[in-house]
């Protein structure tokens, strides 16, 4: 299985789209720390890492295990079986319902920088042979914030999972609701939650995978509603921002506050899973849920 992953990696390393994105000019330079270029410095241990080596390790530091972010396309590549992905609703895009100052420009820049129309990619595919509906948020796209378009994409993916009875896997990465869409962005929490209630009622598995960072309105809606909640090491996962809390309680918070490990300790996630074990862990969960055999099971 792991061998498959590394094989996939080589495919990814030769993807032409990234180079194209970069060729689009200064607007294409994202503010995140997704590894780009030939050499990247590990934020945690300071090691200099050649990008090929980094990619071989699925964007984790081979020395200290630090998890660099990955974009939505790469996440799909390293999670699903090769060439099994079929994308849903690629044409859904945001509008500017509040005529919010600067929002159309912000959207355009995010689209140019990521090559995506919106901050989540959804679709279906197979994982170790099991059909799944998958959704991946991309933290490069206005901090992965959820506006109406993202809410719609995710809600449709949830509805399809319910119709097809395919397990749903969502990789979350978001600063929360997208402020530029005001109350409509808040209501995406409700929209995705009513769709998840339907999925829940139908008894379909939903696995939520928390990646860095997952906060605010996304943390307080679907990210926290998985039947099983996995998290990548070190991923920030919480409702309120550290600074807001420090200002409210007027004391400094511990360093590990709201990390995946903190959440594990407090019972808010089921398991912290290293990126290199994520696909295997998901496969095991899918295998267990696909298995039948007890006479009186529903």
Partner 1 sequence: MPNELEFEKPILELRQKVDELRQLMETTGIDLTEEVAKLEERLAELSQSVYQGLTAWQRVQLARQPGRPTTLDYIRGLCTDFVELHGDRNFRDDPAVVGGIGLLEGRPVTVIGTQKGRDTKENIYRNFGMAHPEGYRKALRLMKQAEKFGRPVILFIDTAGAYPGMSAEERGQSEAIARNLREMAGLRTPTVCFVTGEGGSGGALGLGVTDRVYVLEYAWYSVIAPESAAAILWKDASQAPRAAETMRITASDLLAFGIADEVLPEPPGGAQKDPAAMVARVKEKAVQALEELSRVPIAQLLQARYDKYRAMGSFAER
Cite the annotated binding site by residue number: 42, 45, 61, 64
The pair of structure tokens assigned to 17 is 């789209």
Q: What is the DSSP letter of 210?
A: E
Instruction: Examine residue 114 and tell whether it contacts partner 1 (CB under 8 A).
Output: no
Q: Is 115 in the site for partner 1 (CB under 8 A)?
A: no
What are the angstrom distances between the C-alpha of 5 and each of 14, 35, 103, 140, 245?
Answer: 15, 19, 38, 24, 40
> What's the start-to-end Cα distance of the chain, in Å?
32
Provide the sign of the torsion angle of the four alpha carbons 176, 179, 180, 182, taken in this order: positive
**How big is the chain, counted in residues?**
298
Adjacent-strand bridge partners of 136: 121, 171
Q: What is the DSSP string of 270-285?
A: SEE--HHHHHHHHHHH
Interacting residue with partner 1 among 13, 34, 187, 283 (CB under 8 A): 187
Could you tell me which stretch among 19-27, 31-39, 68-76, 221-229 binds partner 1 (CB under 8 A)?
221-229
- Is residue 94 involved in binding partner 1 (CB under 8 A)? yes
How many of the chain's residues bind partner 1 (CB under 8 A)? 62
Which of 181, 231, 235, 236 touches partner 1 (CB under 8 A)? 181
Structure token digits, residue 244: 């807001």
**Site for partner 1 contains 108 (CB under 8 A):** no
In the region spanning residues 237 to 256, those forming contacts with partner 1, defined by CB under 8 A, are 237-241, 244-245, 248-249, 253
- Contact stretch for partner 1 (CB under 8 A) within 28-36, 42-50, 218-226, 283-291: 218-226
**Residue 166 gets which letter from DSSP?**
-
Interaction between residue 197 and partner 1 (CB under 8 A)? yes
User: Interface with partner 1 by CB under 8 A: which residues?
Assistant: 89, 91-95, 97-98, 100-101, 117, 147-149, 151-152, 155, 177, 179, 181-191, 193-198, 200-201, 216-217, 219-225, 237-241, 244-245, 248-249, 253, 257-258, 266-268
């Amino acid at each position: 299985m792991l061998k498959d992953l590394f094989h996939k990696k080589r495919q990814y390393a030769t993807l032409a789209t990234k180079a194209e994105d970069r060729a689009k000019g200064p607007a294409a330079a994202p503010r995140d720390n997704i590894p780009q270029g030939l050499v990247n410095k590990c934020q945690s241990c300071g090691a200099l890492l050649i990008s090929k080596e980094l990619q071989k390790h699925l964007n984790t530091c081979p020395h200290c295990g630090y998890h660099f972010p990955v974009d939505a396309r790469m996440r799909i590549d390293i999670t699903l079986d090769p060439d099994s992905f079929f994308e849903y609703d690629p044409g859904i895009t945001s509008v500017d319902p509040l005529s919010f100052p600067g929002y159309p420009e912000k959207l355009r820049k995010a689209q140019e920088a990521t090559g995506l129309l919106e901050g989540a990619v959804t679709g279906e595919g197979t994982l170790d042979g099991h059909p799944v509906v998958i959704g991946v948020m991309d933290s490069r796209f206005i901090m992965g914030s959820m506006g109406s378009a993202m809410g719609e994409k995710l809600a449709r993916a949830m509805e399809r999972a319910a119709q097809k009875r395919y397990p749903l896997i969502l990789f979350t990465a978001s600063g929360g609701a997208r402020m530029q869409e005001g109350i409509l962005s808040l209501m995406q929490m409700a929209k995705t939650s009513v769709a998840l209630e339907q999925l829940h009622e139908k008894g379909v598995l939903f696995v939520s995978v928390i990646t860095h960072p997952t906060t605010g309105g996304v943390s307080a809606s679907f990210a926290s509603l998985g039947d099983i909640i996995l998290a990548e090491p070190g991923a920030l996962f919480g409702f309120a921002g550290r600074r807001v809390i420090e200002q409210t309680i007027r004391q400094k918070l511990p360093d590990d506050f709201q990390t995946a490990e903190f959440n594990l300790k407090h019972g808010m996630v089921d398991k912290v899973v290293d990126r290199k074990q994520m696909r295997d862990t998901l496969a095991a969960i899918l295998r267990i849920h696909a298995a039948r055999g007890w006479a009186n099971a529903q």
